[in-house]
Structure 1
Amino acid sequence: MSADFILPRGGTSKRVAVRLSGKGLQTVRRKHPWIFENSIEKLSAEAEPGDIAVVYDNRKIVAAGLVDPYSSIRVRLLTFGASKEVVGPGLFRLLAKQSAERRNGLFGPETNAFRLINGESDGFPGLVADKYADVLVMKVYTAAFIPHLGDVADALFEVYPCLKRLSLRFSREVSAMSAGLRRNLEDGMLFSGNPAWNGQVVFLENGLKFEADVRCGQKTGFFLDQRENRAKAGKLAAGVHSVLNVFSYSGGFSLYAAKNGARMVTDIDFNKHAIEASAHNFTLNGEIANIAKCRHRGIADDAFHAMNELEKAGERFGIVIVDPPSFAKSLSERAQAMKSYSRLAVAAVRLLSKNGILVFASCSSRIGADELFDEVHRAAADAGRPLKEFDRRAEAPDHPALFKESHYLKCLYAHI
């Protein structure tokens, strides 16, 4: 890794003992990576973000992790039992290598963007890392990792020597912390040795070119977790006259549909910059004959309003793809989210032509797949357009979900 990339290294060099309630110890024995504040019986009041927490059961070490005194998840666990690896650079290198081994053979040369670290499921609770061509993007969801960011980045640059540049992204909660807690780091900071680099990077996904904004774009710049669903929807679009992509962002599903022979693709997204990004991605792939021939239309509008206007205009589509943002970011939002999903399902099936296909996805971890898709089926049937489901998918292979709370993505495929 370049010496120009000045990031915190070495942690805080402080270790704190943690003693848990009986319920907390049961959680540790199940190897769950989160220790909540209410399960802790003893933790130094002077513990700081990034301190190494050593969890004891009487005098026996049962786990170790990193402290975040500003989160209800007070300790994020990285090792269980009396591990020989101390939390620090050596452990980060080991975990990065293990994560790379999990992804061996998943992608060929036509895909150079994928998830390297999927948080808790790869042993880094509260941190994700993605690769876009030669760019590493690390997104941080907890202050616990800030004193260790340089060591984590070093581990990933060592495992993936093709990486040359870095973008640092923070969650809203971390961005809102004081500059001191963030070590004066900010969301969207770029490290490349080239002051002219603005965070734009072109990458390949199954041979298609996309441009991501790793400085300001959603998530880490692109929705890498929908790669396999984009490919499947694209194959279904072969020979289809028209495809509608609702909440289209930068046109991922649309490009796959066009590449596979859809003659017309319509994007709907409230953000006009997303519509512009989709048009730009179509231009990037103009050498592909099917994409060059495809009529591409972008509508910058509220999804519900735009879908209603299309229906009133008599437009119908062979495939309607609905991939909204998370409507339920907390338990209190679940009821309203279900109503919104129901409305979307009704609007979508009304726009489908005879024997059309609905692709309906959600990234909300607060609502399970069965609950969501039961509602989609009910709403479609009530609209007089019952669905015949033929496939259902979850997380992508580079986004392993190894414990309950890490499951979030679900996607339904159905004919009417």
Structure 2
Amino acid sequence: MTSLDNPLDSLPTPSERRIALRVTPAAERALRAGHPWLFEAAIQTQSHAGQPGDLAVIFDRKGRFLAVGLYDPASPIRVRVLQAGRPATIDTAWFRAQIQAADAVRAPLRQTDTTGYRIIHGENDGLPGLVLDRYDDTLVLKLYTPAWIVHLRSLVSALETDLPAQRLVLRLSRAAQAREDSLHGLHDGLILRGPALDGPVLFQENGLRFEADPFHGQKTGFFLDQRENRARVEKLAGGRTVLNAFAYTGGFSLYAARGGARSVTSLDISRPALDATARNFGLNLGHPAVAATRHEQIVGDAFDELARLNAQRRRFDMVILDPPAFAKTEAEAARALGAYVRLTRLGVAVLRPGGVLVQASCSSRVDADAFFQAINRAAAAAGRPLREIERTGHALDHPVRFREGAYLKCLFATAE
């Protein structure tokens, strides 16, 4: 991937002219309650047109300050709130304060042989529309709106001061990449600081070693949000045969192996992902339990392969179902629940009596209670009622500070 000496030098500076907005009473209430988004439909008056990254100041009906945030004229989320309640100067010092506060929350992780984790979780850490992940000496900054582009000089300066690293990689969401005219020459996979990178980066998670591809990998290279659920699997895996569906690069598989699983089967539709799984196992052969675990790989669609395994009468003591998001919009939520129900039935069909089912959802559009109810009902309808062990949510490096920010839920249960 490319690396330029000073890729930020060509960026324009943020406009000094602030956009003044008046909003609906409902939007006033939401902003006062701490919601980080202002939608286009909630704007009643606007002082002038703006460009992505202009600062918009939001006032209430009496002309009092409500919030200031990043303006994006092409997004239904017209303003992403940076500061609410009290006016503030949005500059490098302000960014440093947010970064320092977010980093302090993650301090406990640095005591756990963990060098891969999320440092900034967007709106939930006061920096809406971006995430920042650490993979040892490489930081990966992912932007979900071009509104951040004109502020990158200040933001990167703050990162270099408070989070020194060998390398800083820029990732852009698909929606941001589609707005090429607002990117000012920047592109997905650009190295903003540091040397070029020819292969994956290595990092540790609870003492296990993994590789991550910060250029092509899912999210920023790894599913860091499942770290604590992986650790729970490790504690439950001893002596069991484990099936890890939607295995990706084998995070759950490796934890199960270190936990003493007799065998682990990693199932994924992607051969490159399973190749990475094999490499990750190779990185951890120094752990006797990992070296002793028989590891099998199956390439294929999880739904099809689960049905095939059942037809072959194969059974496992633990089945892990961690699919990608089935619902990206509210309209897809009902269909997603149907997919989770089908997946549950397929999962319990290959699970031995008394075995452990681990089933997760990363769909924010699917309500947690509805998800857990659907799993329990599907298992009961299949004649395999569940005895719940635990319901889990977000890890400390993926905090939730507004309703739409909650997406991850996971059920641990035994099946009769």
TM surpasses 0.5 = yes
| Counterpart residue type for residue 312 of structure 1 | A
**In 2, are the aligned partners of 1:11 and 1:51 still within 8 Å (CA)?**
yes
TM-score norm. by structure 2 comes to 0.95
Structure 1 pair 318/9, CA: closer, same or farther in 2 (3 Å)? farther
Q: 1:337: how far off?
A: 0.8
Which structure 1 segments of 5+ residues have no match? none
Structure 2 counterpart of 1:12? 15
- Which whole-Å CA distance do the structure 1 matches of 2:339 and 2:85 have between them? 45
2:257 matched to 1:258?
Answer: yes
Structure 2 counterpart of 1:67? 71
| Counterpart residue type for residue 237 of structure 2 | A
Structure 1 counterpart of 2:25? 22
Structure 2 counterpart of 1:174? 176
TM-score norm. by structure 1 comes to 0.95
Deviations 1:89-134 (A, max 9, x none): 2211111111112222233151011111111111011111111101
Structure 2 counterpart of 1:230? 230
Runs of 4+ in 1 over 3 A off after TM superposition: 2-5
Q: 1:87 aligns with which of 90, 105, 115?
A: 90
Which structure 2 segments of 5+ residues have no match? none
After superposition, residues 155-304 of structure 1 pair within 5 angstroms as 155-161=158-164, 163-178=165-180, 180-195=181-196, 197-198=197-198, 200-240=200-240, 242-304=241-303
- Which whole-Å CA distance do the structure 2 matches of 1:337 and 1:55 have between them? 37
After superposition, residues 30-179 of structure 1 pair within 5 angstroms as 30-57=33-60, 58-83=62-87, 85-108=88-111, 110-161=113-164, 163-178=165-180
The number of residue pairs the alignment matches comes to: 410
Query: Which range moves more in the overlay, 208-217 or 286-295?
Result: 286-295
Query: Which range moves more in the overlay, 16-25 or 252-261?
Result: 16-25
- Which whole-Å CA distance do the structure 2 matches of 1:264 and 1:385 have between them? 23
Structure 1 pair 388/100, CA: closer, same or farther in 2 (3 Å)? same
- Which whole-Å CA distance do the structure 2 matches of 1:169 and 1:32 have between them? 25
Aligned-pair identity (%) = 46
| Counterpart residue type for residue 202 of structure 1 | L
Deviations 1:15-65 (A, max 9, x none): 211111222212221121100000101224530000011112233222111
| Counterpart residue type for residue 168 of structure 2 | L
- Which whole-Å CA distance do the structure 2 matches of 1:189 and 1:367 have between them? 34
Structure 1 pair 285/192, CA: closer, same or farther in 2 (3 Å)? farther
Deviations 1:138-190 (A, max 9, x none): 111112111112322222232222x1201111111101112x30111111222
- Which whole-Å CA distance do the structure 1 matches of 2:233 and 2:110 have between them? 19
Q: RMSD of the alignment, in Å?
A: 1.6
| Counterpart residue type for residue 204 of structure 1 | Q
| Counterpart residue type for residue 154 of structure 1 | S
**In 2, are the aligned partners of 1:359 and 1:413 still within 8 Å (CA)?**
yes
After superposition, residues 309-320 of structure 1 pair within 5 angstroms as 309-320=308-319
Structure 2 counterpart of 1:377? 376
SS at match of 1:107: helix
SS at match of 1:280: helix
- Which whole-Å CA distance do the structure 1 matches of 2:293 and 2:117 have between them? 27
SS at match of 1:76: strand
